[in-house]
Amino acid sequence: MVEGGPVPSVTVPESIKPHLDDLVAKGQHTVRDGILTLLAMELASGGLIDWHSQRLHNPARSASRFLGSNLYPRLHIAGSPEALQTGVKGTGTYLDRSNATWKSVLNWASEQKELASVEAAFLYLASKIAATARSLPDLPELDTPRLTFRRVFAVIDEMLARPSGGAHEQLVFAAFLGAWRQQLDLPGFVETKHVNAADAAAGTAADVQVKQGGQVIEAYEITSEQLDAKIEQASRTLRHHDLPRIHVLAKGVQKLGFEELKSLLPKGSDISALDIREEIRSLVARSDKPHRRQSLEILYGLLIEKQPADELVKGYIKALFEEGLTVDC
């Protein structure tokens, strides 16, 4: 569908069509992609499934991981890297998830008498998702031996110097933090919200966070603007989510003297203030070449998934070529 193939003409019952439209319109990728995977699971099984009793299915989780981590990035579609991981974690059946649209679709599917109805819903949803694909350059193959500190940070430093509404700062930090933690085999995983979403709306404690066993173990608020406003927000986040500590990353913090910095930080809260450029530079330095490559690959996916500006993706690809980090340079 994305590459110009035929889009199937299907008739979807009016009882379910608004819910399928909502899955795409509301941008809840975890819900949307989970439903797409479960409808595909029903078709792959060749028979109707009663979702009231269907327990969690590991191959479905693997399929959702392939969809979000492999297929979507190749097609330049924003989506969830693993839609059937956190959303249904700890539930007994798929219908135990509390999301209203999720429950409506699965309740509807459980009531169907013919598999053709479920197939029509799947094809309709798939075509709607395919229509969200963006016309963007592919990530070129990176040449790992060329990923020296000098070359990689040259790309990153150029990105941080360009206005992006905070997207570059947040997404670059998230990408390199995630790959560096994997290099050290540290527990948990790094996640970051869409750059235009408030933390509360995104269901996250902070702009970037590390989670383990469903709990936030590290939280980072990131800003390209004034430090003091972000510290006030961090104080509220610390209390609301009952976090042990929180880090605020901003531009120009390395220029502040200790007395000035001390005046900005509340005495009773464990809030650290760090320079965003210096923290990223440190992560690049501490990463080995294979994990620098992984960071750059993660960053490409985040630029597609977590922010809407196509020019930021194109600028990133251009910088990789100009710095000679690809195999065909």
Q: Are 179 and 298 in contact (CB under 8 A)?
A: yes
The half-sphere exposure of 253 on its side-chain side, counting CA atoms within 13 A, is: 26
Q: Are strands 246-250 and 208-212 parallel, antiparallel or unpaired?
A: unpaired
Of 293, 79, 19, 104, whose CA–CA distance to 180 is shortest? 293
What six digits make up the tokens of 117?
Answer: 């109805």
- Per-residue tens of pLDDT for the chain, all 329 residues: 888 777 777 889 899 999 999 999 988 888 999 999 999 999 999 999 999 999 998 899 999 989 988 888 888 888 887 888 767 878 889 999 989 999 999 999 999 999 999 999 999 999 999 999 988 898 999 999 999 999 999 999 999 999 999 999 999 999 999 999 999 999 999 999 888 877 665 678 899 999 988 899 999 999 877 788 788 889 888 988 889 999 999 988 988 888 988 888 988 889 999 999 999 999 999 999 999 999 999 999 899 888 889 999 999 999 999 999 999 86
Exposure string for 77-109, b = 16+ CB within 10 A, e = fewer? bbbbbbbbbebbeeeeebbebeeebbbbbbebb
**How is residue 93 annotated by DSSP?**
B
First to last CA, the chain: 32
10 Å CB burial of residue 119 (0-12, 13-18, 19+) is: middle
Tell me the C-alpha distance between 254 and 286, whole Å: 19
Residue 240: closest CA among 210, 269, 276: 269
